[in-house]
Structure 1
């Protein structure tokens, strides 16, 4: 997707081969506000809302370290009913918490403040967010909207376009919340595959930017395990230990089937599986794998990383070196 005479950061990033691993912003809570008008370049911050309510929501979101995103359904049809808002929170047990409400007056958004302070209902369907914030970065619109269209045709009840999620050069970006999983470098075809696989409990390393409850080196370690042993569910792996050393990080990842043991017939020898067998009529094996990953960080040369201006900056890349038994 190249346009002669105009710089597009996503085109440049693909030409350079920029790594997407370990680039998911850290966070475990999201505030979604359906806004059907034009989105300002700075999203929620730029909305002309009642000042007191806006300040309350902003302060509560900041205290909860929640990302505030404006959302809308894809397409030009007129939505039915009042706009919605949501507070979605990641839960390491998988029982993700959700609050949903509606608003018609600016003051109605004050409900978000209370929602941020209470647990919310467990479960609920995941939300698939596609960054299509063209005023923030052109690539988000050029690459994001075709992805939003393709996903909306397949899963209209789950998919929303949203404002800036970070990583413009990795457009099209898709975030599944409250799972807290970032995907990048997507097009219409790959996005449908990635989301369907995600919903079926098969997260693959390809297109994965990272899990938002983990810090970048930990995201890189989990991505390396997925790349080595194949797809797994959102909670099939956990980071058990992270040790900083002079050269990087030593990170231990633990998992159960459908993790490394199920994906590799030689896993016993390679990663040191500890198994306990309980024999009744049949043998049932509870497999626990421990995988140690070494992660190193390096800086790239100065490059233009967004479409918004000529300024250049350096990015940090996280490399996971060979996995060894725990």
Structure 2
């Protein structure tokens, strides 16, 4: 294959028109570890850390169902001093909690274990994570780096580049944490607009992959409500009930004014034809998509 014929999974997904709706992986807790060296293809798992410390952090993260991400600042001169780590936690009450620390040697990372068992603190600004993990998937770097640059120029203290967050074919991917909101298919210009609106309390359906506290059909229902009734705050729509219905799901949403107070949304799943879904994985795979078939105001 020549350079001009090189396969890029995000280009192929755009040509096919792959839907990003309902593709945010489920999760409420994130562990961030600033790592200034080269990121292994498998992220934290591939780091050459003291085995006992690595096992402690990994086991604690598994118990908390936390995703471990390596992070770094975009294109800043390498600074001396300790790296940072953080535990970010989304609570179903709507509270966002964070705990930050620093590390100089591997043993310092053991403090993450205690942080995972503690509630964390309120009052921190959100964290903007941009996947630029090129060793995991080429598109994450090709599309992610320009987005990381654009967002870092606008919000330098909030933005971190990070390792794999899922959905390589939807690069560039941005995660707002601990809000737990995934955006995809972004470029430098759209990312600044989308994130600016998000930070102003206005989440739009365009570019939204989903909320990580919801499961895929629920994410699709919320996205449909946003598309129909306009942008809304992170908690302006809530899932009140979910039930299986004729091979799909019936999802009841409750909204805050000026949105409808109750909305019944029917969602069905479908399977796409097999395609190559990542740059590095030549295996042909199908994906599951979600379609809203009806919406009724109650």
- Shorter-chain TM-score range: over 0.9
Aligned to 2:104: 104
Matched, 1:307 2:283: no
Q: 1:260: how far off? A: 1.9
Pair 1:187 & 2:159 matched: no
Aligned to 1:260: 259
Q: Secondary structure at the match of 2:217?
A: helix
Q: Deviations over 1:222-271 (max 9, x none)?
A: 000000000000011100000112320000010113x525xxxxxxxxxx
Q: CA separation in 1, counterparts of 2:94 and 2:199?
A: 13
Give the 5 Å matches for 1:174-323: 174-257=174-257, 259-261=258-260, 289-323=261-295
> How large is the RMSD of aligned CA atoms in angstroms?
1.0
Q: Per-residue displacement from partner, 1:127-162 (whole Å, max 9, x unpaired)?
A: 000000000000000000000000000000000000
Deviation at 1:94? 2.7
Deviates more, 1:290-299 or 1:89-98: 89-98
Counterparts in 2 of 1:66-85, with a 5 A limit? 66-79=66-79, 81-85=81-85
8 Å contact from structure 1 (residues 248, 296) kept in 2: yes
Query: Is the CA contact (8 Å cut-off) linking 2:81 and 2:104 kept in structure 1?
Result: no
Give the secondary structure class of the aligned counterpart of 2:113.
helix
Deviation, structure 1 residue 76: 4.3
Matched residue, 1:90? 90
Shift of 1:79: 2.8
Q: Distance in 2 between matches of 1:123 and 1:62?
A: 26
Instruction: Give the corresponding residue for 1:165.
Output: 165
CA contact under 8 A between 1:95 and 1:123: conserved in structure 2?
A: no
Where does the alignment leave 5 or more consecutive residues of structure 1 unmatched? 262-288
TM-score by length of 1: 0.89
Residues in 2 aligned to 1:80 and 1:51: alpha-carbon distance in whole angstroms: 25
Equivalence for 1:12: 12
In structure 1, what is the equivalent of residue 145 of structure 2? 145
Query: Matches of residues 40-51 of structure 1 in structure 2 within 5 Å?
Result: 40-51=40-51
Contact 2:241–2:253 (CA<8 Å) still a contact in 1?
yes
Q: Give the structure-2-normalised TM-score.
A: 0.98
Q: Which has the larger radius of gyration?
A: 1
Question: Against the structure 1 CA distance between its residues 230 and 80, is the aligned structure 2 distance closer, same or farther, given a 3 Å change threshold?
Answer: farther
Match of 2:65 in 1: 65
Instruction: Give me the whole-angstrom Cα distance separating, in 1, the residues matched to 2:213 and 2:95.
Output: 15
- Which secondary structure does the structure 1 equivalent of 2:5 belong to? coil
Residue equivalent to 1:274: none
Does structure 2 retain, via aligned residues, the 8 Å contact 1:43–1:163? yes
Query: For 2:275, what is the secondary structure of its paired residue?
Result: coil
